Every structure is written in structure tokens, then in C-alpha cells.
Structure 1
Amino acid sequence: MGQALKDTQYYCYGDYLTWPDDSRYELIDGQAYAMSPAPDLAHQDIAGEIYLQARLALKNKPCRAFIAPVDVRLPKHNEADQQIDTVVQPDVLVVCDSSKLDRRGVRGAPDWIVEVLSPGTASHDQIRKRLLYERSGVKEYWLVHPTDRLLTVYRLNGAEYGKPELSELTGASQVGVLPDIIIHWDELSSRLPDPDAY
């Protein structure tokens, strides 16, 4: 993921909807970025566990948790869906405003987004998507580093993310903007491959 297409053509959601289902892309400001084939098992285990814990924590509450692939359209203004030039598929997300949900996915900024880093996506997620989520108003953005067993948390402070908070994947981490969600790491961390095996 994060590999821009070679052409310089500007794309929007209308184009995106015509692309074959077996080719996965994200759009950021009209630039198409090819998504890599299926992530490794550690990536999927982390994303799946975070989603499961979030979903269970939100049972009978108005916020909803989702796991990729779900299209998240991030309009810059009030442009029609077909004209939106930014569509991403975060690993895990929570949306509390039900008016942002429709049959195609999410339109507007989720409240919380988690991206699990892979070697090929690290710079894309840490730089390009961090700036995008900040600009779009995502209240809290988590980056999970499986190899380093590290969590980086960005929280929106006004219009910008404040200084990132770093912690190890041990004990528990509470989502600042969704205090009902507490992610417990120890059992998950014990299942992850030895970092030296990467």
C-alpha cells in the first residue's frame, strides 16, 4: 500500500467506483495509491483484535466499529460523492455520527482510526495519512507498530494533532475520545511473532 500509480491523472470517487473489484486503491487528493496484497497474519491479528474489543465495548451504544475494507470518503467541502477525491480504507475505525453512514460506507471523518503498520506502508500511514486525517478532523489516530510493539497516538487539539503519545503494546490503552473502548494488549502481544523473525 502507499505506492502511487505511475500516471499523474486526477481521479475522483466516480472513477474509483468503475475500477475492478480485485484491484484495491486509496485516493488521496485525486492521486491513486495501490494497496498491497493481503497483509501478513500479524497485521490481521492485530486489526481483528482491536476491532473485536472495540465492537464489544460499543455494544448497545450509538457508535459503531468497522474493519477494512470499508470506503471512507473524505470530502473537502460539500461536493457530490462522485466528485470526492479522497477515499481511504483504514484498518479499524469507529463512527459515532450515524448520518455519516450509508450503503457505500462512510462519508466524513470517523471519530477514531487505527492503522496497523507494515514495512511497505509505514511512511504512507505515518506521514501522508496522518496529515490527511488531521486535515479531515479525525479526532484520534492510532498507529500500531507490530515489529517494534509500539503504539503511537495522535489526538486532535483544535485543528491540529498534538504531540504524539508513545507506549508499548502492554497492559491496556484507553481511546481518549471514546473512553468506553480500552484495548488490552497482553494476550494479543503474546501471539505476535518474535520481532527478530520479521
Structure 2
Amino acid sequence: MSMPMQHRHYKYADYSKWAEGERVELIDGHVYAMTPAPSRIHQEILGNLYNEFANYLRGKRCRPYIAPFDVRLPKGNELDEEIDTVVQPDLSIVCDPEKLDDKGCKGAPDLIAEIISPSSLKLDTTAKKALYERVGVKQYWIVYPHEKIVMVYTLKEERRYDDGEAFSQGDLIPVIVLENMTVSLERVFS
């Protein structure tokens, strides 16, 4: 199937039929095209970040996943085919094995990290941030690769993100969803 038209309301049933290689995400039924391939720096940082989590989580219940990995975000109890929000975060940490299936994750991961590129800046800092807050992602990290900064947003009891905290290259980020874990930005940005 060719790239979908933008004016229609799409669902997972449509998304699952599109040709492999057409990298898109659905947010509330709207299609967002993704860049064909991330930059080398993006991939290096993502690999380093993944390694931090994978090493810590070895033998534990929570699991790290990197894109492409479908995260289906239902609004209620709708069937997969009816879900109109499917994203592929750069990094997802999922601690509830009941959310995992062969298609990816159904429901909010505990932590999501997105690495900013010029083409994703607005989407990652506005639409996705609002989406992740709405669905209950406990911690959302926005990684600025060239500035070597990570903004960390933590979900509060009233299901709203705090104002965010900035961390830079020499800092350790406390991971609130994982007991006693910190992430070294020295290693992530090396």
C-alpha cells in the first residue's frame, strides 16, 4: 500500500497493512511520517542509552526496547484493530509483561526516551509529550544530541508532567521507575 492520505482517520487495522519500510506513527488517527533513517549520532546515543538500561535490567522483570517497536496506546478497551495511536519511541522501558505481545506493547510503557532530530523536534516536544502524559508514561526523556542535554519529565499524581529537569553530559539521571538506577550521561554521550 502506498503512503496513506493525511485527511482520513486511521486505525491500527490500516497501519498494519501498510508496506514495510514506510515508517509512520499514528497519533489520534493522524499519520506522522518518520525520517527514513536516523543520523549516526542519533544511533550511537540510542545504542549507549539502550546499553545502560539493558545492562541494569538483565535478569529483572522490566525490559528495554528500541525502535522500530510498536507501542499501541488504546483509549479504553478497544480491539487492536480499532486503536488509533501507534508510536515507535526510540527507547521504551516496559515493566508489566502483560502489556507485551508479538506485535510490541499495548499500553503505556513505564519510561520513554525520544532522541531529537531537526525533523522531530516539534512532534517530540509537543504532540508526543502531551500524548505520553495523557496515557500515563511515568517518565519521559527528551534527548538533545548536539547539546548533550536530556530533559526528564516525571508524571505526578494528577497525571500531569512536572516542569522537567535538565541534565547535561557529566550528570547521573535517577530513573524513578527503576529502583536504585541512575544513567550516566558521560557514557550515553561518549
TM superposition score normalised by structure 2: 0.94
Amino acid at match of 2:32: Y
Which of the pair is proportionally richer in strand? 1
Amino acid at match of 2:151: T
Q: Name the Cα RMSD after superposition.
A: 1.2
Deviation of 1:180 after TM superposition, in Å, equals 4.1
1:105 equivalent in alignment to 2:109: no
2:130 maps to 131
Deviating 4+ runs (over 4 angstroms): none
Please, which runs of 5 or more residues in structure 2 have no aligned partner?
Answer: none
Deviation of 1:189 after TM superposition, in Å, equals 2.6
Cα pair distance change 1:147/1:167, threshold 3 Å: same
1:172 maps to 172
Deviation of 1:187 after TM superposition, in Å, equals 3.7
2:95 maps to 96
Deviation of 1:66 after TM superposition, in Å, equals 0.6
Deviations 1:108-159 (A, max 9, x none): 0000000000111011000000000000000000001011111100000021
Deviations 1:55-103 (A, max 9, x none): 1101111111111110000000000000000000000111000000000
Please, which runs of 5 or more residues in structure 1 have no aligned partner?
Answer: 191-198
Q: Distance in 2 between matches of 1:106 and 1:27?
A: 15
In the TM superposition, 1:20-39 aligns within 5 A as 20-39=19-38
TM superposition score normalised by structure 1: 0.90
1:62 equivalent in alignment to 2:61: yes
Deviation of 1:186 after TM superposition, in Å, equals 1.6
Q: Distance in 1 between matches of 2:17 and 2:28?
A: 18
| Identity %, equivalent residues | 45
| Residues 14, 82 of structure 1: 8 Å contact kept | yes
Amino acid at match of 2:10: Y
| Residues 26, 86 of structure 1: 8 Å contact kept | yes
Q: Secondary structure at the match of 1:161?
A: coil
Moved more, 145-154 or 163-172: 163-172
Q: Secondary structure at the match of 1:154?
A: strand
1:193 maps to none
Amino acid at match of 1:134: E
1:47 maps to 46
Q: Secondary structure at the match of 1:120?
A: coil
| Residues 175, 182 of structure 2: 8 Å contact kept | yes
1:196 maps to none
Amino acid at match of 1:123: K
Deviations 1:150-183 (A, max 9, x none): 1100000021101111121223212122134322
